[in-house]
Structure 1
Amino acid sequence: MKANEEAWKVLSSQGNALDAVEQGVRIIEADASNHTVGIGGLPDRDGHVTLDACIMDQKGNAGSVCFLEHIVHPVSVARKVMEKTPHVILSGSGALQFALEEGFEKTDLLTPESKRAWEKWKKNAEYSPVINIENHDTIGMIALDSAGNLSGACTTSGLAYKMHGRVGDSPILGAGLFVDNEVGAATATGMGEAVLKTCGTFLVVELMRQGRSPEEACKEAVLRIAKKQNYNDFQIGFLAMDKKGNTGAYCIHPGFSYAHQNKEGAELIPAKSYVKE
């Protein structure tokens, strides 16, 4: 809701969707109390906070960073990759080098609270994610501006206590995020490996192209995962918006909601789920 509030400041003043999604997700990246995005994100099993993010505009331009350390706002670095390089993805030390050259400040992302949680985890070194808490709080945002253009952004610190070097779906176009200005946009949250195996958001957008509603498209993407993967211990949620501004979502387990804001106001909307309560 906080992210949407910030994004709406841009949209309500006739700003563009790209600026809106960047400014919106930056709010969560800078919130140290959120342990799945940006500063304060729970580290990998070696104690490193590594961030993934991507951004995509109405023209199909895209930028992404993955396995990035020491930068609070990876989404803004991703935008710089899109606008200032001939590439789509920069990773690891190369992404950090680029960010520093672009004037981003080097910051210790491991907060005392996250460090304590990691040190407690190390005693047993077992990862047992809690569905709807630890493993799905990636923030993905899609927006439609007054000019009728769509853009999207996605940013995360990834799975807590992941293997060092792991990259999830969030910085991968067609997995964590996809935008097609002729049709619509989609973003994903949850167990990134499951989304990567199905090119989830690309699938959602293509289904909308074929005439499915945003919710119907998200549901089909979830069903593709549920059919082939053991979903008992992980959550997946898809969120989509079509060119007319209609929105919809669908998830595997109950408990996933998405924040929606337009000129009528703001609300938190629970998504229908494959597994029923």
Structure 2
Amino acid sequence: MTWGTIATWRMAHDGVLKAAEMLKNKETAGDAVESLINVIEEYPYYKSVGYGGLPNEEGIVEMDAAFMDGDTLAQGAVGGIHNVLHAVSVARKLSNEHYNSFRVGEGATKYATINGFKMQNMLTDRAKKRWQKKLLELKDESVTPYDGHDTIGAITLSEAGSMAAATSTSGLFMKKAGRVGDSPLSGSGFYVDSEIGGAAATGLGEDIMKGCISYEIVRRMGEGETPQEACDHAVYPFVKKLKKRYGKAGEFSLVAMDKDGDWGVATNVEFTFSVATSTEDPQILIAHPSANGTTMIEPITQEWLDAYEKRIKAPIE
């Protein structure tokens, strides 16, 4: 039987390895996607998700996350949640609620506390040093305040034919307090329907949400396009439209997988992702946009991986 999982960025790979083992063992798509993201949320060197995530301008780590069940279309989400290790797990529990399934700020944090989720200070010393360094840099008015907004977005497909999607992020580094991006927004940061497939996004949320791109990719797959065709046809024309009508477009990267385990990717920047299926061993790949509105995908090099590991663990000076 077919199973599969795909997730954004190289940092997802250890989570993809875990999800792949779970799916091989016939565990559910929901359990697999939650576990995939939990792995990343716990790792302190990933500066845009969970523990170690970079804070807002006030030095507070505010996290956004979402979960969607492709069988029932049930969704749960949190925005601006504080002091909880696994924001995506809170989102998944909220997906069981018919009402009040999207909680933000103090309401989200209180819900997590009441329901026994692991609470802790999410600001690591390393992330605090990055924040303090940025505060000094911002005294130079030519320096942009915003960088670091890499969301983990993941799709899973179980042998039973069920699918799930989930996202988790600490959002835009140095964002204004209370800012929420696309990651917890249905149709923008994620969408999945087990009868069709799913998609998830990473990049600048303010621009991704202008196009509801994740839903558009799923809609196109439902009309017969392959995941790669759907990604190319949804992402690149919209980036052009946004540049023409809004004047600019931020970073866009999306991954997709259909109910048969086929997958696709589109991006307007250099973009790494991880994928594993019943017919493909887990692998990290790198994607680039081409001049003709399609996506170029190639294996990652060991040199790139070595440089990445060195970069994310380099001392903060």
TM-score (norm 1): 0.93
SS in 1 for 2:96: helix
Distance apart, 1:127 and its partner CA:
3.0
Q: Is the CA contact (8 Å cut-off) linking 2:261 and 2:277 kept in structure 1?
A: no
Paired with 2:108 and 2:97, the residues of 1 have a C-alpha distance of 13
Decide which of 230, 240, 243 is 1:217's aligned counterpart.
230
Counterpart residue number, 2:266: 250
Question: What is the Cα deviation at residue 61 of structure 1?
Answer: 0.7
Quote the Cα distance in structure 2 between the aligned partners of 1:85 and 1:72. 24
Gaps of 5+ in 1: none
* TM-score (norm. length: structure 2): 0.81
SS of residue in 1 equivalent to 2:191: strand
* Alpha-carbon displacement from aligned partner over 1:72-127 (angstroms, at most 9, x marks no partner): 10000001111246233000000000000000132111111111111111123243
What's the CA shift for 1:271? 2.4
Q: Which amino acid aligns with 1:54?
A: A
- The equivalent residue for 2:73 is 60
Counterpart selection for 2:200 from 171, 175, 187: 187
Secondary structure class of the residue paired with 1:83 = coil
Q: Runs ≥4 in structure 1, deviation > 6 angstroms?
A: none
In structure 2, C-alpha distance between the alignment counterparts of 1:233 and 1:128, rounded to whole Å: 17
Q: Which amino acid aligns with 2:115?
A: E
Is 1:262 aligned to residue 277 of structure 2? yes
Structure 2 counterpart of 1:127, one-letter code: T
2:313 alignment counterpart: none
Aligned partner (choices 34, 46, 49) of residue 34 of structure 1: 46
The corresponding residue for 2:144 is 127
Cα RMSD after superposing both structures:
1.8
User: Can you give the 5+ residue segments of structure 2 that lack an aligned partner in the other structure?
Assistant: 1-12, 297-317
Q: Counterpart of 1:2?
A: 14
Q: AA paired with 1:83?
A: N
CA distance in 2, matches of 1:167, 1:220: 27
Match of 1:178 in 2: 191
| Cα shift at 1:275 | 5.8
Task: Give the drift of 1:250.
Answer: 0.7
Provide the C-alpha distance between the structure 2 equivalents of 1:70 and 1:127, rounded to a whole number of angstroms: 27
Counterparts of 1:1-277 in structure 2, within 5 Å, are 1-57=13-69, 58-84=71-97, 86-125=99-138, 126-127=143-144, 134-135=148-149, 137-230=150-243, 234-253=250-269, 255-263=270-278, 264-274=280-290
Which whole-Å deviations, capped at 9, do the CAs of 1:35-58 have from their partners, x for residues lacking one? 000011110111110000000112
Question: Greater relative contact order (Cα 8 A, min sep 6): structure 1 or 2?
Answer: 2
Instruction: Tell me how many residue pairs correspond in the alignment.
Output: 272
Change in 2 beyond 3 A, CA 1:127/1:233: farther
